[in-house]
Structure 1
Amino acid sequence: MTMPETAGEPALAVAVVTGIDEYQQRLLRGMNPVLRARGIPLVVHANDPYIGGVPASLVRLIRQGRPSGVITSASSAVAEEQTLMELLRELRIPAVHLGRTLPDRTCVRGDNETGMRALMAHLLDERGVRRPVLVRGVVHQQDSIVREEIIREELARRGLQVDSGLVVRGEFGHDVAYRAMRALLRSRRDMDAVIAFNDPSALGALGALADEGLRVPEDVVVTGFDNDQAASLSWPGLTTVDQDLEGQGRAAATALVHEIDGGASRGEITVPSRLIVRGSTVSPGPTGSSFDTAVAMARATQAQLSVQDAILGMNRALIRCRTLDQVVDALASRLDRLGIGRCFLAVYQADDGSAGTFDQARLVLDYRDGEVRERTPDLFPTHRLLPEASRHVISDSGLMVLQPLSVLDRDLGYVLFEGIEGPASVTEVLRMDLSRTLDGVASTLELTDHAATLERLVAQRTEELESA
């Protein structure tokens, strides 16, 4: 099917996510086939989770690029979400929102209630849990709020209450949850369960319990939510709730196509969830299943080590770069090992080497299928993402990730690459290492220019004094 057009431009859908982790990858895997079947390419704008506010690159992409539709995933900041919603309403761009409940908007959510109530019945009725630790998610995030409400309701139905001293903030993060649990375990050890609001925070808690000498599930049972791959590969395997993230992605993309075609908002769409019981709450299963799990863990570890080796090699190469050409060479020589087939690097830089405006960029790397292609030296509008001669790659690829590059408040450019498969650490290394290296190159150029300016001023003043 041919690609629809908007105001004379080929259609483009934008997915707004905070980083590319397994959670987001699974959502995107569900979206992509639906949009691709309609000939609508998907650009995934990966916001930096450590920079507040809506990124300027995203504002340009939406305001000037005018995509046919936008799918948003819940942000870690309320103000950022509100600003983005206002922009989409102002421009009347069809939008679908994941993990949120908004009036008069199409929203897609996992069925927290069914899965969470099944999880609580398993813990309270089958495992006899009475003193659970709650590892909260992001405070304002809708899923986190609903999950906590259900936990409290299910405890109250059985005449139990949440001990406020056993409630910690995990922020949906492994490291945050690990530190919070270690701190709690220094003062209390009377808990019999840890109920984490997602899998990464559950795995962080699992690590803290192990480091404090507590056994899972013998001393404390642990549960998560989402059914990430790591949940099945941890030891013991993590009891969790599968909320069908791929199904949520499909539902969001289907609803977006409906609105792009002129259909009305579909309100709230709920995708079913189901309980997955593993070794973190029950005794280990048969030897055969344990062996299969061990084999899967070994293979996953081998793949992770291979990626880490490639990332370390890129880090070592980039840290030695002093010029933009060296950065481009170092990046291009290692993309294949990172599993990236197409990658474009654009910098906000004019032809004279000075900082360019954020509305224009220059393409410094065009990498496709193992080869570095010849690139145009001309500036192009950043909301177009690529120079005109290369824009067909976006349609051909179907899905590309747009990762802005910045250091503190300094915007440097962006990397646009194909695919979402593989460890999320690949996206992180592109963001962090490239940003840091480009910032160093830019600072070196600025110092060189400053030194040259001072030298000219000294020479000019010397000449004036000699002629006086």
Structure 2
Amino acid sequence: MEGTISKRTTIVDIARVAGVTPKTVSRALNDAPHVSAAVRQKVKEAAEALDYHPNLAAQSLIARRSFLIGLTYERPSPSYVVELQNGALSRLDDGRYRLVVLPFAHVASRPEELGKLLLRAGLDGVLLAPPASDQPLLLDMLERQRLPYARITPHSDLDRGLVVAMDESAAGHAVAQHLLALGHRRIGIILGDPSHAASIGRLEGYRRAFAEAGVGIDDDLIVTGDFTYAVGYEVARTLLASAKRPTAVLAQNDDMAVAAIAAARELGLSVPQDLSVAGFDNSEVSRTAWPPLTTVNQPVAQMAWDAADRLIAMLDGKTVPELPQRRDHAHELLVRASTAAPAA
């Protein structure tokens, strides 16, 4: 090859310009203690003037850290996954840490395999989204190997690790209470994956709202949709074609709720005149559906940001974890045009 290859700026170059030692440059750029504010500012100005970009691989070797944060989840709705990733990425946007996305199927039946995957990935820490956040065997493995973790919306062992939570039962209660207050009594329920604790928690909230209203839940109107649009559509068609067709449907996420609207239209039903539909998550699809979907706002992106922020603080030694380290986020019922009083 002919020509020359331009040399990358190093901390030696920055040290020469700033008039300090390379070690001081390293400490200043990494915000280490025992560096004066004036020196730190001088070093950072020199780095900017020289268009310096740190070599992450070299940093990892020197610090014996990967600066990789893992995010593992199962296969819920695409909208949920995007919200998770966006929330975590927005916290990691300063470039010091990078996000490694590790989807894993059938977590509940294979927690040990997931644990081995995480431990082999060379991570500094990991964000556990449902259902991984509720697997005691997985948590045991991570703790034995001292791999820091933060749990997003777990429902059990809430005194373990860093926890970012939302009351799924209270949220389920709120949306069921909304339909009952409108006057619906024959309400279909489309459950999510039964291996996800969120599905159980939301159903508990539904049952509590029904009991408070003195209304019995018809078990024939409860079907399992697996949190996916495709399965939600199939079970919604079965539900709506039955002799005891419900006047309203509670779907445990927005993808299945939108699938129920599509199934209703194919059967010649109008939403909300013939059928009210409510979802859960306040994902993008809930806002672009027609009619716009009544749903529960679960602040997924904010919870992922919070989990990443707390995990990074622990990794950087800025906080000393003292269990329980739990932070709760509030849900919000968003009433839109997909729900109305039942027809006379």
TM-score, structure 1 length as denominator?
Answer: 0.54
The answer to whether the 8 A contact 1:15-1:42 is kept is yes
1:159 is the counterpart of 2:214: yes
Q: 1:206 to 1:45 in 2, by over 3 A?
A: same
1:90 is the counterpart of 2:148: no
* Counterpart AA for 1:98: I
Q: State the distance in 2 between where 1:152 and 1:257 align.
A: 39
Alignment correspondent of 2:296? 241
Report the alpha carbon displacement of residue 150 of structure 1 after superposing the two structures with TM. Answer: 0.9
- Which residues in structure 2 correspond to 1:340-355 (within 5 Å)? none
TM-score, structure 2 length as denominator?
Answer: 0.72
- Which residues in structure 2 correspond to 1:218-229 (within 5 Å)? 218-229=273-284
Can you give the 5+ residue segments of structure 2 that lack an aligned partner in the other structure?
A: 1-28, 31-55
1:34 is the counterpart of 2:91: yes
Residues 91-130 of structure 1: CA deviation (Å, up to 9, x unaligned): 11110111213422222223334543332332111x2111
Residues 150-186 of structure 1: CA deviation (Å, up to 9, x unaligned): 1111111111111111110011111111111222333
Report the alpha carbon displacement of residue 71 of structure 1 after superposing the two structures with TM. Answer: 0.5
Report the alpha carbon displacement of residue 28 of structure 1 after superposing the two structures with TM. Answer: 1.8
Q: State the distance in 1 between where 2:132 and 2:260 align.
A: 21
Aligned length: 279
Structure with greater strand percent: 1
Q: 1:276 to 1:192 in 2, by over 3 A?
A: same
Secondary structure at 1:122's aligned position in 2?
helix
Alignment correspondent of 1:421? none
Q: 1:83 to 1:51 in 2, by over 3 A?
A: closer
The answer to whether the 8 A contact 1:35-1:257 is kept is no
Q: 1:122 to 1:102 in 2, by over 3 A?
A: closer
Q: State the distance in 2 between where 1:77 and 1:250 align.
A: 16
Alignment correspondent of 1:147? 202
Percent identical residues: 27
- Which residues in structure 2 correspond to 1:203-218 (within 5 Å)? 203-218=258-273
Q: State the distance in 2 between where 1:251 and 1:266 align.
A: 16
Alignment correspondent of 2:122? 66
Q: State the distance in 1 between where 2:133 and 2:145 align.
A: 22
Q: State the distance in 1 between where 2:270 and 2:101 align.
A: 41
Secondary structure at 1:10's aligned position in 2?
coil
Alignment correspondent of 1:136? 191
Report the alpha carbon displacement of residue 231 of structure 1 after superposing the two structures with TM. Answer: 1.0
1:263 is the counterpart of 2:320: yes
The answer to whether the 8 A contact 2:175-2:296 is kept is yes
Secondary structure at 2:214's aligned position in 1?
coil
1:199 is the counterpart of 2:257: no
Q: State the distance in 2 between where 1:161 and 1:42 align.
A: 46
The answer to whether the 8 A contact 2:112-2:137 is kept is no
Residues 179-226 of structure 1: CA deviation (Å, up to 9, x unaligned): 112223333343111001100111111122222222211111000000
Q: State the distance in 2 between where 1:93 and 1:51 align.
A: 20
Q: State the distance in 2 between where 1:257 and 1:156 align.
A: 43
Alignment correspondent of 2:41? none
The answer to whether the 8 A contact 2:133-2:153 is kept is no
Can you give the 5+ residue segments of structure 1 that lack an aligned partner in the other structure?
A: 284-468
Residues 307-330 of structure 1: CA deviation (Å, up to 9, x unaligned): xxxxxxxxxxxxxxxxxxxxxxxx
Q: 1:49 to 1:25 in 2, by over 3 A?
A: farther
